[in-house]
Amino acid sequence: MTQPALGAALESGVSLLRGLTRRRSAVDDARRAAATWAAAHPSLAAQLVSNPRPGSPIVDYDLLIDDPEGGTIMLGVQPDDGTSWLVDHSTHWAAGNLLSVDGMQISVPEAMLMLRSLTRAGLSPQEELVRFCVLRGAAAKEEVDLDDVQAAADAFRRRHGLLTGEAMRKWLERMGMSAEAFHDHMVTNAKDQRFRTRKRAELAPEYLSRHRDRFARVWAVWAVSGEPVDPAELDGSLGDRWDVRVSRVRAWSGELPEPLRAVPAGGEAGPVPFEDGHLTGAVLKREDAVADADTLAAAGTAAFDDWLAEAAERARVTWHWL
Amino acid sequence: MLLILSEPGDATVRMVLPKLKARGAEVVWWDPARYPAAAHLTARFKAGGPHLTLVTGGESVDLSRTTAVWYRRPGRPTAAPDVTAGDLRTRVEELSEWFLEGFWDLLDARWLPGRHPVLRRAHNKLVHLALAERLGFAVPPTVITNDPAELAPAYERAGGRLIAKPVEYVPFEIDGARHTVYTTVVQRRDLAGRARLAHEPTILQPYVGKAVELRVTVVGRQVFAAEIASQDSARTRDDWRHYDFDRARHSVHHLPDDVARRCVDLVAALGVTFGAIDLILTPDGEYVFLEINPNGQWAWIEDLTGLPIGDAIADWLVAGETDL
């Protein structure tokens, strides 16, 4: 390529860059335009480089082309579109946040910490994060002392298998977290725990009185199988049947599979369609609910879960990245 | 009687209100955004001085009895809903602002942090940077300009470590979403956008290395210094307003006496009674002044450090002396 030809190519390249829309949503169009341009200038081996700015919809473009005398020329154009330098380098207000719940911003690092504690089956990570945030907001004003914080830290370390100082140190290093930041995190956990305990105790009596049917103590046995099982077979004579899941439990009536929950002592249920197969079961013994400590604790746990689910349902939630 | 001018949802006022009540203060909390749509203000001029009355919610308040005003987050005057023509609404609201400015000027009371015109001047970075330097603060060599030709030399003078920031916070949107201008580190390739500098004044400063950042809150002559470990989080390294409370911890900081005194002097010299001052403590142990917000937030500092700023504000408001 001759020097005048290069001049014309540079002018054309600048013109290409001027015409590109500097938005993330327009990058594919920009690539197509650049590919067309490159095809029209095969000796330049042109490549478009897009550089989306973090936390912003704005994208910068550079065009790399071969210098006929050897090496590479990079073309970049900043059109004067009336946007000031600072505005052009501004950040979306929620760029560092994953979500907002009732006005409370949850940063990406906070969300990552929360995600490590997600445990509930049947809930999506998004649903659990919202519940975490609702809980955190509600628990923010709880007063905790050093013993509470120590208990939260001990529980956290047990849950994560961080049983030695060395394991703890390595974990903090991996998380990029200082000991002080871990302490703060445990203060938050302790507040959550205190609020949870207080709220459970507060909600339990009324919840139990409204849902006594869920807190009868029951001794039950059931089988879940592909083929229907006769109740008489539950006494252990399952014969040649295989791939049968048999459960024999002492539980609260509300924890039983739905077809068994209202079955009286000595009663049977099934075989009935259940999940992907059939369920057959029997309630061997049943004691009506009483407001003892164990029952109130179970009622408090269930009441708290309901309260949290309802609060999460009511919360104003904005996902900033989904 | 204490007059608090702030929006009704102001959580900071809610923090201080019980402290004022505990000190036996009579408090009127009112938002000028209710004027003139839902409140009447009257100034009567007579011998012995003007008499000022607020009628709101069916109650009449003699504002002439006001001994101290806390000018927190007052809303702007709002025309009544039935003033529907756009130019008439604008007229009503502009006239109301004029009236209020004069009305507040007539209040013979102590102001925290200060009257609006004084606050406006104190908040201006050009004003307080120059004053801070005169008072002996270390101030980064700063250029404030809209001249594109200044960008590259500033970058070179800063050894390739230059930051840019706005002269004032003004809300704006890009593609319909609110954006914020944080302290922005200027990369070499960003120099290509120098022509954009022409569109607004921009502060250019060399990047100041940080051991920690400090938020110093001055109430009257009391100084509360909080340390923000902004360098412990990638998120807050260049600007702690990106907030990462888990990593960028806040704690109490003990300022050297001369720096603390300079903070008090700066607030006084600006004619205000409160100030939230941002400083950097460099790895070499130097305290470098960045800016002062004469009506800055402080509640989160009290929450995270236990510094009794709310008590100091309550004390200042109820005190009879001006030199607390």
pLDDT tens across B235-245, in order? 788 887 777 77
Residues A175 and A233 reside in one and the same domain:
no
Of A78, A86, A181, the CB nearest to B192: A78
> Residue A92 and residue B178: Cβ atoms within 8 Å?
yes
Indicate left, alpha or beta for A263 from its phi (over 0: left) and psi (-120 to 50: alpha).
beta
Distance CA B63, CA B53 (A): 5
Query: What letters, b where the CB count within 10 A reaches 16 and e where it falls short, cover B90-106?
Result: eebbeebeeebeebbee
Domain with CATH 3.30.470.20 in chain B: 120-125+209-307
Using an 8 Å CB-CB cutoff, list chain B residues near A181.
Answer: 232, 246-247, 249
pLDDT at B321: 41
Q: Do A85 and B243 touch (CB under 8 A)?
A: no
Which residue in B190, B235, B249 is closest to A184 by CB distance? B249
Nearest CA in chain A to B236: A96
CB contact under 8 A, B235 and A80: no
Query: Residues A250, A104: one domain?
Result: no
> What is the rounded CA–CA span in Å between residue B30 and residue B74?
8
Nearest to A152 by CA among A119, A111, A195: A195
Q: Mean pLDDT across the stretch A257-268?
A: 90
Which residues lie across from B156 on neighbouring strands?
none
Instruction: Identify the H or E element spanning B18.
Output: helix B11-22
Chain B residues with a Cβ under 8 Å from any Cβ in chain A: 151, 164-166, 172, 174-175, 177-182, 184, 189-190, 192-197, 199-200, 202, 232-233, 235, 242-247, 249
Q: Which residues pair with B148 in a beta bridge?
A: none
The answer to whether ipTM exceeds 0.90 is no
Are the beta carbons of A181 and B184 separated by less than 8 Å?
no
User: Are the C-beta atoms of residues A100 and A320 closer than 8 Å to each other?
Assistant: yes
Q: What is the mean pLDDT of residues A212-222?
A: 93
Question: Quick check: A224 pLDDT over 50?
Answer: yes
Alpha helices (H) in A140-221, listed in sequence order: 146-159, 165-175, 179-210
Record: contact B243-A107, CB cut-off 8 A: yes
Q: Are residues A200 and A312 in the same domain?
A: yes
Please check whether residue A269 is in contact with residue A263, taking contact to mean a CB–CB distance below 8 angstroms: yes
Per-residue pLDDT reduced to its tens digit, A120-176: 667 788 888 899 889 988 998 888 998 999 999 999 899 888 989 999 999 888 877
Are B109 and B67 in contact by the 8 Å Cβ rule? The answer is: yes
A178 and B CB contact within 8 Å: yes
Judge whether A178 lies within some domain. yes
The verdict on A24 touching B (C-beta cutoff 8 Å) is no
Are residues A172 and A309 both part of a single domain? Answer: yes
Residues A225 and A204 in one domain: no
A277, A224 in Cβ contact below 8 A? yes
Q: Is the Cβ pair B242, A96 closer than 8 Å?
A: yes
Chain B residue closest in CA terms to A58: B174
pLDDT digits (tens, 9 = 90+) for B83-133: 988 789 999 999 999 999 999 999 999 999 999 999 999 999 999 999 999
Amino acid identity of residue A67, one-letter, is D
CB-CB contact of B34 with B40 (8 Å):
no
Report the run of H or E that residue A101 belongs to, with start and end. Answer: strand A97-101
Alpha carbon distance B39, B8 (integer Å): 14
CB of A90 less than 8 A from some CB of B: yes
A91 close contact with B: CB closer than 8 A: yes
d(CA A43, CA A35): 13
Instruction: Indicate the residue of B178, B200, B247 with minimum beta-carbon distance to A86.
Output: B200
Q: Tell me the residue length of chain A.
A: 322
Same domain, A141 and A199: yes
Could you tell me which of B228, B211, B226, B317 has the C-alpha nearest to residue B274?
A: B317
DSSP letter assigned to residue A159: H
pLDDT in tens, B120-173: 999 999 999 999 999 999 999 999 999 999 999 999 999 999 999 999 989 999
**What is the pLDDT at residue A121?**
67
Name every chain B residue with its beta carbon within 8 A of the beta carbon of A82: 199
pTM here? Answer: 0.76
Answer whether A279's CB lies under 8 Å from A270's CB: yes
Q: What is the torsion angle, in degrees rounded to the nearest 10, for the CA atoms of residue B20, residue B24, residue B30 and residue B31?
A: -10
What pLDDT, on the 0 to 100 scale, is given for residue B209?
Answer: 92
Distance CA A255, CA B230 (A): 49
Q: How far is CA B60 from CA A19, B76, B102, B284, in A?
A: 63, 21, 20, 58
Which residue is listed with tokens 């911003």?
Answer: A105
Among the partner residues B192, B200, B232, nearest to A178 by beta-carbon distance: B232
**Which of A59, A74, A75, A85 is most worth mutating to test chain B (most B CB atoms within 10 A of its CB)?**
A85
Q: Give the pLDDT score at A123.
A: 79
Ranking A89-103, B16-30, B54-68, B161-175 by mean pLDDT, the lowest is A89-103
Give the span between the Cα atoms of B62 and B51, in whole angstroms: 8
Residues A284-299 have a mean pLDDT of: 92
- Nearest residue in chain A measured CA to CA from B166: A86
Residue of B nearest to A113 (CA): B246
A45-65 tens-digit pLDDT? 999 999 988 888 899 999 999
User: pLDDT-based confidence at B324, cuts 50/70/90?
Assistant: very low
For residue B272, give the nearest of B99, B165, B103, B124 by alpha carbon.
B124
Domain-terminating residue out of A88, A114, A146: A88
Give B-chain residues touching A77 at CB under 8 angstroms. 192
**Distance (Å) of CA B40 to CA B28, B54, B56, B90, B93:** 15, 6, 7, 18, 14
Residues B113/B123, Cβ–Cβ less than 8 Å:
no
CB A15 within 8 A of CB A40: no
How much is the pLDDT for B320?
65
Token code pair at residue B119? 């606050």
Q: Are residues A183 and A314 in the same domain?
A: yes
pLDDT score recorded for residue A322: 61
Q: Cβ separation of B246 and A88 shorter than 8 Å? A: no
A275 shares a domain with A129: no
Residue A295 counted as domain residue? no
Look at A107 and B190 and tell me if their CB atoms are within 8 Å. Answer: no
Choosing among 3.40.1360, 3.10.290, 3.30.1490, 3.30.70, the CATH entry for B141-206 is 3.30.1490
**Lowest mean pLDDT, pick from A13-17, A279-283, B273-277:** A279-283
Same domain, yes or no: A195 and A46: no
Whether A189 and A233 map to the same domain: the answer is no
A96 contact residues in B (CB cutoff 8 A): 235, 242-243
What is the C-alpha to C-alpha distance for residues B298 and B275, in angstroms, rounded to an integer?
Answer: 10
Q: Contacts of residue A102 in chain B, CB cutoff 8 Å? A: none
B203's tokens = 């502060």
Asked if A245 contacts A225 with a C-beta cutoff of 8 angstroms, the reply is yes
**Count of the separate structural domains present in chain A:** 3
State the nearest Cα–Cα gap between B176 and chain A, in angstroms. Answer: 10
Are residues A193 and A248 both part of a single domain?
no
Half-sphere exposure of residue A259: CA atoms within 13 angstroms, side-chain side: 18
Q: CB within 8 A of A117, min separation 6: which ones?
A: A132
In total, the C-beta contacts within 8 angstroms joining chain A to chain B are 102
CB contacts of A92 in chain B (<8 Å) are: 174, 177-179
Is A102 within 8 Å of chain B by CB? Answer: no
Query: Under a CB-based contact definition with an 8 Å cutoff, are residues A90 and B179 in contact?
Result: yes
Task: Write down the mean pLDDT value for chain A.
Answer: 88
Option in B164, B175, B243 nearest A86 (CB): B164
Judged by CB atoms closer than 8 Å, whether chains meet at A107 and B181 is answered as no
Report the distance separating Cα A298 and Cα A308, nearest Å: 15
Helix (H, G, I), strand (E, B) or coil at B118: helix
- Give the list of residues 6+ apart from residue B285 with CB closer than 8 angstroms, or none: B211
Residues β-bridged to residue A157:
none
Calpha distance B112→B119 (Å, rounded)? 10
**E strands along chain B, which residues?**
2-5, 27-30, 39-44, 51-56, 59-62, 68-71, 110-112, 143-145, 162-166, 172-174, 177-180, 184-186, 202-206, 212-219, 222-228, 250-252, 274-281, 287-293
Q: Which residue of A has its CA nearest to B197?
A: A85
Of A109 and A75, more confident: A75
- Among A56, A88, A181, whose Cβ lies nearest the Cβ of B196? A88
Distance of CA A126 to the CA centre of its chain: 4
Parent domain of A17: 3-88
CATH of domain B120-125+209-307: 3.30.470.20
Q: Does some domain include residue A296?
A: no
Q: Residues B165-203: pLDDT tens digits?
A: 999 989 999 988 889 898 899 999 999 999 999 999 999
C-alpha A283/C-alpha A259 separation (Å) is: 11
- Examine the domain organization and report whether A72 and A125 are in the same domain: no
Q: Is A85's CB within 8 Å of B194's CB?
A: yes
Percent above pLDDT 70 for chain A: 97
